Structure 1
């Protein structure tokens, strides 16, 4: 049996999360932060107060009551933006900086890759690519890409 959390979450008039402990103490401006956003997004979520300290910990998002879970998920979704690359259509050059045209789970886009060091290897076979503006693009499984995409990507790895 899952224990009920010893706090409540709500939104204030400004739309920010407020955590209220059972003793009545409140913490304004709560920000949920995933410990492992790519490899285990539903496990290990810290609720951080406005001074940067952890106020509460969520072992598993699915263990929360529906109301709390929906508040946390909505806040995470509003702050997290990591499009997943499904296909690499074209790269302008095999030397950096180069412009990549890609298909993501959120539609077609293009971005500039400043250098090969902006491609980070995560838990194999995942990659995280940062564009020149700091936007992160995820390739969940580089071996699942089509052969054309893999061929283009391999030139940068």
Structure 2
């Protein structure tokens, strides 16, 4: 599937307006990633509030700098999935326990309730859900530091 030809801008209320190549205007569109973890820069659908797709982005690099910036800003405002870079400490290896981690958004602590709250995504990624439903991503469990890997091994 090829990237749709369109223009993107914000209205005075900050909502995205998409104008297709044939001049049709769609107000209040939102980007939605098809594969947010495995391919975050590819396969993005521009959808209306009712879920109807009005444009497709095969790769973000297909877009102009201005349009790409608008899409990324909108995605960042809608998605919150901190990426764990290092596990600093766990309170216990018995569950529930408190994890202290360093993420791409700063250091934080969360409670892990059970083993089922750690899910494998593909062969190297993990998705960890805390007691409040916030999801934390470990993009590659084999590339984290030695201590973090040792802790992960106890829970996997």
- Structure 1, unmatched stretches of 5+, are none
Identify the residue that residue 128 of structure 2 maps to in structure 1: 129
**1:118 corresponding residue in structure 2:** 117
SS in 2 for 1:117: helix
Q: Does 1:26 align with 2:29?
A: no
Alpha-carbon distance between aligned partners in 2 of 1:69 and 1:144, rounded to the nearest angstrom: 29
- What is aligned with 1:58? 57
Unaligned runs of 5+ in 2: none
1:1-157 alignment to 2 at 5 Å? 5-157=4-156
Give TM-score, length-normalised by structure 1: 0.90
Q: RMSD between aligned alpha carbons?
A: 1.7
Number of residue pairs matched? 155
TM-score by length of 2: 0.90
2:87–2:147: 8 Å Cα contact kept in structure 1? Answer: yes
Deviations 1:73-120 (A, max 9, x none): 111111122221121121122222211001112221101112111111
- CA distance, structure 2, for counterparts of residue 4 and residue 106 of structure 1: 31
CA contact (8 A) 1:28 1:50 kept: no
Judged with a 3 Å threshold, the aligned counterparts in structure 2 of structure 1 residues 50 and 141 are, in CA distance, closer, same or farther, namely: same
